[in-house]
């Protein structure tokens, strides 16, 4: 976990501006906005989605893990704890990572190109991907990482000071800090910012539907199109993710999908073809799909980075199946980074990594053939 020093200073300055925001108490003490929480007693507030069971146990109704949690224990996520029959979240407003990123880094390619997103995360995750790139925050509990108390209003102030027009709940897994996501999105909307979420989509229907109206865009990491992969590499299930994708697509919110292609595990041509067909049939051809390059990390250090030819094969297969916007990620300079008009084939947005080199979109349409390109462009 790292804070960007410059941004961190900005956030603390923003904290002063948001000093009117009441902190909440823990162990009889009020937390100050911007206060560093490094171990010690965590703030706690009652979680929003759970059911009380007999004998002091609770059932979490936030994600498909549906943990049954005994008193003094936590769910799989490590951030929700049963305290005497009341389920609490330990991470609301407890940001362990805050940074202003280009929206292209999320990646969301059809959302306000070139703009900054004030990105934030708490510790914890509801699955355990063996290839997690942010495992040093996602696979730890909140008392094990350094965080700051950053309530929604202070987060919005920080975004404004950073010049960000968006917020992004990201890095670890926003589902596990869903109450914070909800409240931050409300505050962002109120301030004229566009709230986004970068998620694994492993969430139950009700909490998803409750928060979607407050969001402008969602990017879902579809880890694979095989249940076996989800079981063995993710410790989750595919089916609930597909359901979440359909719900998001049916809501008034922009959706993009990222698939991290891992050599030998989820990169077969047949799997990519099945995935592309499902997306087209169930979500539509206009949902952007990004195939990104794997780099060895966490528990998957014995596999090489994804060969470029494998990524290109996926790119070609998905386009051949009829998807209109297929991208390649973690491959700077590759033409697969660009947005191309499905009508005339002209390049509309040229990218280099997270930079926008050229944006020819005119009022959300191709300037050559006038085809409307779907997205959130303003």
Q: Exposed (0-12), middle (13-18) or buried (19+): which is 38, by Cβ within 10 Å?
A: exposed
Question: Restricting to residues 335-374, which ones interact with other proteins according to CB under 8 A?
Answer: none
Between residues 41 and 206, which has the closer beta carbon with respect to other proteins? 41
Between residues 125 and 156, which has the closer beta carbon with respect to other proteins? 125
Strand order in the sheet with 94-95: 36-38, 146-149, 94-95
Selected from 105, 141, 243, 313, the binder of other proteins by CB under 8 A is: 141
Residue 41 found at the interface with other proteins (CB under 8 A):
yes
Between residues 135 and 278, which has the closer beta carbon with respect to other proteins? 135
Minimum gap (Å) between residue 327 Cβ and other proteins? 31
Between residues 74 and 92, which has the closer beta carbon with respect to other proteins? 74
Between residues 234 and 276, which has the closer beta carbon with respect to other proteins? 234
Residue 295 found at the interface with other proteins (CB under 8 A):
no
The span of 221-229, 299-307, 325-333, 347-355 binding other proteins (CB under 8 A) equals 299-307
Task: Please enumerate in sequence order all residues whose Cβ is within 8 A of that of 38, keeping only pairs 6 or more positions apart, or say none.
Answer: 146, 147
Tokens representing 163 are 């010049």
Selected from 73, 205, 210, 370, the binder of other proteins by CB under 8 A is: 73
Selected from 21, 61, 134, 139, the binder of other proteins by CB under 8 A is: 139
Handedness of CA 222, 136, 91, 180 (dihedral sign): negative
Minimum gap (Å) between residue 260 Cβ and other proteins? 18
The span of 38-46, 208-216, 219-227, 326-334 binding other proteins (CB under 8 A) equals 38-46
Selected from 105, 130, 209, 243, the binder of other proteins by CB under 8 A is: 130
Question: Restricting to residues 77-106, which ones interact with other proteins according to CB under 8 A?
Answer: 77-78
Selected from 4, 143, 274, 368, the binder of other proteins by CB under 8 A is: 143
Residue 298 found at the interface with other proteins (CB under 8 A):
yes
Residue 54 found at the interface with other proteins (CB under 8 A):
no
Between residues 71 and 312, which has the closer beta carbon with respect to other proteins? 71
Between residues 6 and 29, which has the closer beta carbon with respect to other proteins? 29
Check if the beta carbon of residue 328 is closer than 8 Å to that of residue 309: no
Q: What are the beta bridge partners of residue 94?
A: 149
- CA 245, 248, 249, 252: dihedral to nearest 10 degrees? -170
The span of 100-108, 166-174, 274-282, 295-303 binding other proteins (CB under 8 A) equals 295-303
| Closest to 256 measured CA to CA, from 101, 109, 102 | 109
Minimum gap (Å) between residue 57 Cβ and other proteins? 7
Residue 304 found at the interface with other proteins (CB under 8 A):
no
Binding mask 207-236 for other proteins (x = CB under 8 A): ----------------------------x-
Residue 375 found at the interface with other proteins (CB under 8 A):
no
Minimum gap (Å) between residue 364 Cβ and other proteins? 43
Q: Which residues bind other proteins (CB under 8 A)?
A: 39-41, 55-57, 67-68, 70-78, 128, 130, 135, 139-141, 143-145, 235, 298-299, 301-302
């Amino acid at each position: 976990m790292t804070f960007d020093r410059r941004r961190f200073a900005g956030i603390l300055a923003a904290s002063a501006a948001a000093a009117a925001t009441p902190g909440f108490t823990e162990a009889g003490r009020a937390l100050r906005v911007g206060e560093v929480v490094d171990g010690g007693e965590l703030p706690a507030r009652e979680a929003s989605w759970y059911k009380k069971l007999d004998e002091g146990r609770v059932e979490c109704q936030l994600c498909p893990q549906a943990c049954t949690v005994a008193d003094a224990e936590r769910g799989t996520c490590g951030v929700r704890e049963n305290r005497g029959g009341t389920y609490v979240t330990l991470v609301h407003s407890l940001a362990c990572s805050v940074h202003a990123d280009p929206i292209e880094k999320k990646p969301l390619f059809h959302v306000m190109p070139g703009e900054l997103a004030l990105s934030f995360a708490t510790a914890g995750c509801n699955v355990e991907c063996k290839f997690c790139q942010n495992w040093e925050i996602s696979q730890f509990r909140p008392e094990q990482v350094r965080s700051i108390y950053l309530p929604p209003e202070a987060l919005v102030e920080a975004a404004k000071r950073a010049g960000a027009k968006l917020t992004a709940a990201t890095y670890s897994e926003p589902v596990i800090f869903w109450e914070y996501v909800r409240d931050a999105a409300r505050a962002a909307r109120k301030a004229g910012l566009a709230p986004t979420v970068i998620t694994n989509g492993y969430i139950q229907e009700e909490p998803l539907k409750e928060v979607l109206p407050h969001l402008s865009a969602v990017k879902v990491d579809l880890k694979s199109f095989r249940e076996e992969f989800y079981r063995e590499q993710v410790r989750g299930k595919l089916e609930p993710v597909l359901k979440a994708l359909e719900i998001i697509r049916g809501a008034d919110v922009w959706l993009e999908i990222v698939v991290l292609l891992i050599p030998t595990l989820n990169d077969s041509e047949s799997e990519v073809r099945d995935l592309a067909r499902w997306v087209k049939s169930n979500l539509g051809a206009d949902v952007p799909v990004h195939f990104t390059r794997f780099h060895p990390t966490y528990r998957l250090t014995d596999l090489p980075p994804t060969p470029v030819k494998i990524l290109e094969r996926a790119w070609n297969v998905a386009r051949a199946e009829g998807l209109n916007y297929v991208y390649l990620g973690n491959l700077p300079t590759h033409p697969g980074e660009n947005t191309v008009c499905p009508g005339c084939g002209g390049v509309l947005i040229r990218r280099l990594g997270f930079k926008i080199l050229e944006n020819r979109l005119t009022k959300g349409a191709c300037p050559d053939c006038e085809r409307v390109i779907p997205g959130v462009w303003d």
